[in-house]
Amino acid sequence: MVNSLPSKYRRLTTKDGSPTLEFTVDGVVENMHNFHGAFAETDYIYGEAMRRAIQAGLKKLRVLSVGLGIAYNEILVSSFLLKAQSQNARSEPSDSFEQTTAARATDSQIELLQSFEIDSYLKQSFLTWLVDEELTALGSTYDDVLKLYAEHTGENASEIKSQLGLWLEQGKFALADKFSIETNCPEPFHVLFYDPFSNKTNPDFWTEQALERFLQKWAADDCIISTYAATGALKRAFKNQGFQLVKRAGFGGKRQSFMGLRGQLSEPENPAI
Ligand SMILES: C[S@@+](CC[C@H](N)C(=O)[O-])C[C@H]1O[C@@H](n2cnc3c(N)ncnc32)[C@H](O)[C@@H]1O
């Protein structure tokens, strides 16, 4: 029997039909995704970063995900790498999936996908779904996210899931608890999905000083950081740490969102700010 979802969470369907979770933390209600589309938002903000990292031809990718939530980003990484590998095997770009991943996608492999999730229920639920195949109240939510990525990439849903499970077994996917700016980083990362809650709930993550410390510790020389936010603090932190700032239109009514690029992942025509 599946236990019901604890009352602090509420599953909702966003406008593109994809699921999200509403979450009450210390009396504050937070939504994990934009109501215009959880899947579309994730693809726009984080999918773009992953596509660029694969396209850059980095062979051993280290990917950091701050805020597992309902694991859109983790499933994204597994599905995009499977897609890049199958394109390589066929040596042909696919029209349906961004052509950008094809040409230089050679053999991008995951070295480490490191995720953090402070909420023990979310963390445990995901591991249960991934490894034990036991029923969890969020199981159908992960299944729905998996199905969306399978459709998007043309890859097989059970392979996307098994690959993540295998990475976990091999120590290539690690899921830790609380992330803080003071958390030590053993070796920096190429792709940073910066997706904790907003300034309202997580103010410590969004000051210029915190962002700079984060980049100093966690960003590899060749690095792309993507986030839904667009603030002066982010802009200054990028500048001070030698990142190019890419200003993108915000998703679903937001004015802007920022991406930072450095080293091999930077754009020649877009000099560092
Ligand atoms: C916006 S949601 C992330 C959505 C997620 N990326 C996804 O794909 O569904 C933010 C998540 O960050 C988690 N979080 C907030 N503060 C955190 C911290 N200090 N360390 C780790 N996780 C944190 C929250 O519990 C929540 O699940």
Q: Which atom of ligand 1 is nearest to the CA of 67?
A: 12
Q: Return the number of other C-beta atoms located less than 10 Å from residue 213's C-beta.
A: 15
- Strand 173-176 to 109-116 pairing: parallel
Where is average pLDDT lowest: 22-36, 85-99, 126-140, 217-231? 85-99
pTM over 0.75: yes
The pLDDT tens digits of the residues spanning 198-252 come to 888 888 999 999 999 999 999 999 999 999 999 999 999 999 999 999 999 999 9
d(Cα 183, Cα 185) in Å, to the nearest integer?
6
Q: Is the pLDDT of residue 149 over 90?
A: yes
In 3D space, the residue among 181, 179, 165, 156 whose CA is nearest the CA of residue 233 turns out to be: 181
Q: Which atom of ligand 1 is nearest to the CA of 202?
A: 16
Residue 130, classed as helix, strand or coil, is helix
Over residues 116-139, the mean pLDDT reads: 92
Q: Cα(43) to centroid of ligand 1, in Å?
A: 17
Q: Cα(164) to centroid of ligand 1, in Å?
A: 19
Q: Is the pLDDT of residue 143 over 70?
A: yes
Q: Which atom of ligand 1 is nearest to the CA of 71?
A: 8
Asked if 117 contacts 66 with a C-beta cutoff of 8 angstroms, the reply is no
Give the confidence band of 28 by pLDDT, cuts at 50, 70, 90.
confident
Q: Cα(168) to centroid of ligand 1, in Å?
A: 19
DSSP state letter for 97: S
- Residue 225 Cβ inside 6 Å of ligand 1? The answer reads no
Q: Which atom of ligand 1 is nearest to the CA of 179?
A: 20
Contacts of 65 (CB under 8 A, 6+ apart): 73, 74, 77, 113, 114, 115, 116, 193, 195
Structure-token pair, residue 16: 């593109």
Residue 64, classed as helix, strand or coil, is strand
Give the confidence band of 101 by pLDDT, cuts at 50, 70, 90.
low
Q: Where are the domains of the chain?
A: 45-265
- In the chain, % of residues over pLDDT 70: 92
Candidate of 32, 33, 79 to mutate for ligand 1, largest count of ligand atoms within 8 Å of Cβ: 32
**CA Rg value for the chain:** 18
Put the strands of the sheet holding 9-13 in their side by side order.
9-13, 19-25, 28-31
Over residues 115-124, the mean pLDDT reads: 96
- Residue 46 Cβ inside 6 Å of ligand 1? The answer reads no
Q: Which residue's CA is the closest to the ligand 1 atom numbered 15?
A: 196
Q: Cα(218) to centroid of ligand 1, in Å?
A: 17
pLDDT at residue number 102: 47
- Residue 32 Cβ inside 6 Å of ligand 1? The answer reads yes
Q: Is the pLDDT of residue 72 over 60?
A: yes
Please tell me which residue, 124 or 198, carries the higher pLDDT value: 124
pLDDT at residue number 89: 81
Q: Is the pLDDT of residue 197 over 70?
A: yes
CATH code linked to domain 45-265: 3.40.50.150
Average per-residue pLDDT for the chain: 91
- Residue 72 Cβ inside 6 Å of ligand 1? The answer reads yes
pLDDT at residue number 103: 44
